[in-house]
Amino acid sequence: MTRSVKIYGTASIIFGIPFVIFTLYKYWEFYAARDWQETTAIVTISESFRIKSGSLRLKLQYVYKVNNITYTGSNIAFGEPFKGKKGAWRKRYSKKYPVGETINVYYDRDKPHNSVILKNLFYWGGPVASAFLGLLFMLLGFAIFRSNDGIIEIKFKRRTKHI
């Protein structure tokens, strides 16, 4: 018995577009931060801990004021940080920013609740993976679209069990 799956080129292209848009948005967010304002903040939470999977996590929180309104932030840098060597960066940052420490943070003047400690640091792991997946789906879609009227059919032979 044979089964077949049809893959449509247009669907593959459409599926890849959000991944690319996500990457462009993250890069734009990082680029726009060049003009963010600087202020001081006080670290209120700084701890690294292990979760069930054994990964090391960092919980960092700070408070800062803009126009006499208090905001809470927790971002060290843009993007999602990669794990590194057993969470070494997390330990380093939890020691670098102890509770009660006064630090400099950068905030978006139009949206003061958006803040970051290191505005010139961007963890590229997540956005690069997203761009790669998006472009892969889009290229696959264009390749399928160019061949066989935009449809590829993959046939599978179904194994039958003999008792």
99-145 pLDDT, tens digit per residue, is 999 999 999 999 999 998 887 766 666 677 788 888 888 888 877 76
The tally of CA atoms less than 13 A away on the side-chain side of residue 135 is 8
Angle among Cα 98, 102, 105 to the nearest 5 degrees reads 105
* Prediction pTM value: 0.61
Q: Count other C-beta atoms under 10 Å from residue 78's C-beta.
A: 21
Q: Count other C-beta atoms under 10 Å from residue 73's C-beta.
A: 21
| Mean pLDDT score, 75-96 | 61
Determine the Cα–Cα distance for residues 123 and 114; give it in Å rounded to an integer: 17
